[in-house]
Amino acid sequence: MAGKIGVYFDMQNIGGGLDIEALASQTREKWGELVQVVKVCPVLACTVDEIKADIASRQLDGVLLCGTSPRAEADVYRLPVQIEYVNLREQCVLSYKNPDGSPPDFAAGAPEALTIMARDYVNMGVVKLQKSENPDSAVVSGVERVLVIGGGWTGLTAAAETAATGCEVVLVEKADTLGGAARNIPMASPLAPFWTDKQPTNLSEKISAVTGNPKITVYLKARIEKLQGQPGEFKAGIITSDNTVNVDIGAVVLATGWTPLDEKYLAPMGLGRGPNVLDAAQFGKMLVAGNITAGRIAFVLDITMAEEAAREAAEAMADKVDAESGEGADKFVKEDLENIRHLAYSNAVNSVAALRLADTVCDKTNDAAQIFILYKNMTVPGILERFYRKMQDRPGIMMTKADVTEIREAGDNMVVVCKNTLLGMDFDLEVDLVVLPTGMVPITAKDVVVQFDYRQGPDFPDLQLFDGFVDSNYICFPYETRRTGVYAAGCVRQPMTMDGCEEDAKGAVLKAMQCIASASRGVAVHPRSGDASYPVFNFVRCTQCKRCTEECPFGALDDDEKGTPKPNPARCRRCGTCFGACPERVVSFADYNIDQIGSMIREVVVPKDFKKEGPRILILACENDAYPALDMAGMRHRAWSPFVRIIPVRCLGSVNAIWVSDAMSKGFDGVMLLGCKYGDDYQCHFVKGSEICAKRKENIAETLNRLGVKPERVEQLEVAVDEYDKVPVLIDSFVGRIIAMGPNPFKGM
C-alpha cells in the first residue's frame, strides 16, 4: 500500500473553475503524513522531472495527478511508483452545472457545489492510492511456438507468416491434403493491385512453401485431442493416424474454415431437385473439373424465397411440437432461423464469387456463354469494387436487381421468375443452369475442433449466441475468442473472400505473437494490454461455491480436486468478474479490490440535509464505454448534476454487491451502474460483464427490500462509447427520480 503520496494539481487544465490553492491546502490538512508532497503546477506535464526528484528525495511510493482524465495524458507519465489520476477537468469542471441547472459563473469564483465535488474526488484519489499495491507479475514460460489448426488458405498463410517471424509452427489438418476449400476455386478474386482481375491461387506454391519450411511441422489426418494449460505454456495433444504427439505451445491460431449450409435450406429454391440447380461451391468444383457446358447460366443472389420458407417451416414445426409434447418448440424455431442467417452473412462472399465464376465461364467459352446475375443486395467489400465495376462492362454478363419469386423446371431448362427489376419490367428468365449462393457455416458450429481441457468444457462457450462464429467481440477485438491465447482467422470468424482471409491470417498471427510476448512478461494482452495484475485468492475463506469459475467469461479458473478455484493467470483478462461474483470477497487484485472501492465510497461527504444540500448519488462507470462517454460529454460541455460522484470500474461484471451496501449505509440516495450494452447487441469488452451485473442487481433488489430501501434507488443503464450526448440526460433523469423519491432512509444513521 502507498504510504507516502505526492499530490500534484494541474493549474493549466483546471485553473479558473476551482480555487486550486484552497484545494491543495485542504489536502495537506486532511491527510497529514500520508501525503508528503502537495504542489500546484502551472503545467503538470512539464514537471515530470520535478515529480521524479520528489520521488527520490521524499521516497514517495505513490503519485496522485489531479487534472485531466487518465485517458488524456496517461502516456505522458512514466514514473517508478504507483500512479492514480483525479479527473478534475472532464468530469468535474467542464461538466459542472449549478444545482438549479443554470450554467456556472466562474468569474464570480468557484461555486460551492463544485468545490465540494472536487474535494471529494481528491480524497477518493488519495484513499485509492492508499489501498493499492504494485502487482507482482505472473510470468509464464512463453513458449515461442504457435499451433495453427486448419490447413486451408487461411491456415497456410498463418503458418508461413508465423515462421517468417522466426517462431516455430505446428500445423494440424484433419484431411489428408492441405489446401482446403481453395482446391475447389479455379481462379481467385483479385488478391493484389490493381484489384480489377481475378488471379490464379498458386495454391501448390503456397503449400510447398509451408511443407518445405524447417520451422513448420505439418500433421495431416490429425486432430486436437486436448489443449490444456494457459497462454505461453499450453500443452497440445495431437492425434495422428499413427500415434498421439504432445507439443508445448505458446498460442493458437484457429483457421478451421467453413462447411456448406445444409441443402435443405435452399431446397425451396430448387437445390437438390435435379442437376440444373447447384450452389456456388458445387459449381466451383464442376468448373475446376471442366464439367460445365451450359450456355445460359443464372446466378441468383436473392435468398428471400429460402428465408420465407425457413420461417414458415420453423413456425409450422413449432406448432406441431407444441401440440404433441410442448417441448423443444422454441429451440427448433431459434436454431432453424439462426441457420438460415448464414446465407445473409455470406452475401459479400457470394457476390464476389458470382462475379468471379461468371468471369471464369466467359473466359472458358470465349464470351459465348450468357451469364445473368440477379441480386437483392450486391455487396462487394472494399477495393474489390474495382473488380465489380469491370465486370459490369464484361461482354456476356448482365446484372440486375430483382426479386426472385420462383425457380421452376421447364423441360430440360429452368425458369427464374424476376420481379421489380432495374429494367423496369418483370420477366421470366429461361436458363440452362441456376447457381445459388452458398451458406458458409463456421466449422465450430458443427464440430468441437480444439477440445479444451478446461473446467468450463471442451468447446468455445456460447457459440449458439454468435451463430457458431468464435469471435468474442467483433467490434472492438477482431481475432480474439472467448479463450485467451486462441485467435480466430478467416471464415471461422466471419465469411470473407480470399484476400480478406490472407489479411485476417496475418492479423491473428500478430495477436498470437503479442500474446506469447505478454505472457512471458506476466502482463495481460487484451483488452487491458500491459496490465500486470491478476486475481489473488484468500483460499482460507473460500467456500467452494464455484461462482467465480462459472461466471468468468474466459475460463481463467479451473477447479482442483477439492473444488477450490485454480487460477490460470495468463488466461485472465483482468476484468474482475470473479471478485464481483464472490460472496465472501476472497478475490482481489493488488491495484483493484473490494476494500479499495469501498473506501473510496466511504470517503465521499454525504450531506444530512437532503432538501438544502441535495442528494448524493454514486455512479459506478465501466471504464471501456461509459467512462470515455462521460469524458467526451465533459469535453463538449454537456453538463450534468453536481450531486453525482463517479468511480470507474474495470467492468460492471466486477461490481460486488457490498459496494452498493456500502453506499446505502453511507447515506447515498441512489446508485447508478453505468455500463455497456448487453443482450443480442452486446458491446461489453468482457462479453458478459453487463449481463452478469444485471442478474446480480436482482439479488441486490431483494436485499434492499428487506432493508426497507426501494430497489428503484439502484439502476443499471446502458450506454455505448459514442453516446456521449445521451449520458447527461441519463444522469439527470436518474437524479430527478431520486429527488422525487426523497432521502435514503439510512441517511444520517
The single residue listed with the C-alpha cell 510470468 is: 139
> Is residue 413 within 8 Å of 370, Cβ to Cβ?
no
Q: What is the pLDDT of residue 73?
A: 83
Mean pLDDT calculated for residue range 192-198: 93
Q: What is the DSSP letter of 406?
A: E
> Is residue 431 within 8 Å of 372, Cβ to Cβ?
yes
32-57: string of b/e by CB count within 10 Å (b at 16+)?
A: eebbbbbebbeebeebeeebbebbee
Mean pLDDT calculated for residue range 426-453: 93
Query: To which H or E segment does residue 449 belong?
Result: none
> Is residue 716 within 8 Å of 577, Cβ to Cβ?
no
Q: Torsion over CA of 568, 570, 572 and 574, rounded to 10 degrees?
A: 130
534/39 Cα distance (integer angstroms): 33
Query: To which H or E segment does residue 506 belong?
Result: helix 498-521
> Is residue 449 within 8 Å of 252, Cβ to Cβ?
no
Mean pLDDT calculated for residue range 315-332: 60
Q: What is the pLDDT of residue 238?
A: 98
Q: Is the pLDDT of residue 323 over 60?
A: no
Half-sphere exposure (Cβ direction) of 182: Cα atoms closer than 13 Å: 33
166: left (phi over 0), alpha (psi -120 to 50) or beta: left
When pLDDT is cut at 50, 70 and 90, the band that residue 683 belongs to is confident
| Cell numbers describing residue 535 | 486475481
Q: SS3 of 525, please?
A: coil
Does the N-terminal peptide bond of residue 711 adopt cis geometry, omega within 30 degrees of 0? no
| Cell numbers describing residue 237 | 495433444
| Cell numbers describing residue 383 | 477495393
Q: Which residues pair with 674 in a beta bridge?
A: 621, 717
Q: What is the pLDDT of residue 325?
A: 53
Mean pLDDT calculated for residue range 32-59: 93
When pLDDT is cut at 50, 70 and 90, the band that residue 157 belongs to is very high
Mean pLDDT calculated for residue range 94-118: 94
89/70 Cα distance (integer angstroms): 10
679: left (phi over 0), alpha (psi -120 to 50) or beta: left
298/399 Cα distance (integer angstroms): 10
Please give the C-alpha separations between residue 452 and each of 38, 512, 598, 646, in angstroms, as whole numbers.
53, 17, 37, 40
Q: Report pTM.
A: 0.93
Q: What is the pLDDT of residue 89?
A: 96
Q: Is the pLDDT of residue 316 over 80?
A: no
382/500 Cα distance (integer angstroms): 10
Return the percentage of the chain with pLDDT > 70, whole number. 97
Q: Is the pLDDT of residue 502 over 70?
A: yes
When pLDDT is cut at 50, 70 and 90, the band that residue 319 belongs to is low
| Cell numbers describing residue 416 | 427464374
Annotate 676-704 with DSSP letters as a single string: ---STT---TTSSHHHHHHHHHHHHHHHH
Query: To which H or E segment does residue 88 belong?
Result: none
Mean pLDDT for the chain overall: 92
Q: Give the closest residue to 670 by CA, choosing from 594, 744, 746.
A: 744
Angle at 469 between CA 158 and CA 720, to 5 degrees: 105
When pLDDT is cut at 50, 70 and 90, the band that residue 331 belongs to is low
| Domains defined along the chain, listed by start | 1-134 (3.40.50.2300), 145-260+442-521 (3.50.50.60), 273-438 (3.50.50.60), 536-588 (3.30.70.20), 592-749 (3.40.50)
Half-sphere exposure (Cβ direction) of 23: Cα atoms closer than 13 Å: 30
Q: What is the pLDDT of residue 475?
A: 67
Q: What is the DSSP letter of 527?
A: S
Angle at 434 between CA 431 and CA 439, to 5 degrees: 165
Q: Is the pLDDT of residue 116 over 70?
A: yes
Q: Give the closest residue to 71 by CA, choosing from 727, 690, 633.
A: 633
Please give the C-alpha separations between residue 743 and each of 120, 659, 661, 662, 737, in angstroms, as whole numbers.
20, 19, 16, 16, 11
CB neighbours of residue 112 within 10 Å: 12
Q: Is the pLDDT of residue 504 over 70?
A: yes
154/172 Cα distance (integer angstroms): 13
Write the CB contacts of 421 (distance below 8 Å, at least 6 apart in sequence).
400, 401, 402, 427
| Cell numbers describing residue 280 | 456456388
Please give the C-alpha separations between residue 154 and each of 165, 179, 460, 498, 507, in angstroms, as whole numbers.
17, 9, 20, 8, 11
Write the CB contacts of 23 (distance below 8 Å, at least 6 apart in sequence).
9, 66, 115, 118, 119, 122
Tens digits of residue pLDDT in 212-227: 999 999 999 999 999 9
Least confident of 1-10, 289-298, 464-473, 590-599: 464-473
CA 329 to chain CA centroid, nearest Å: 31
356/383 Cα distance (integer angstroms): 15
Write the CB contacts of 449 (distance below 8 Å, at least 6 apart in sequence).
149, 223, 224, 254, 256, 443
Q: Which residues pair with 45 in a beta bridge?
A: none
Does the N-terminal peptide bond of residue 194 adopt cis geometry, omega within 30 degrees of 0? yes
Q: What is the pLDDT of residue 394?
A: 94
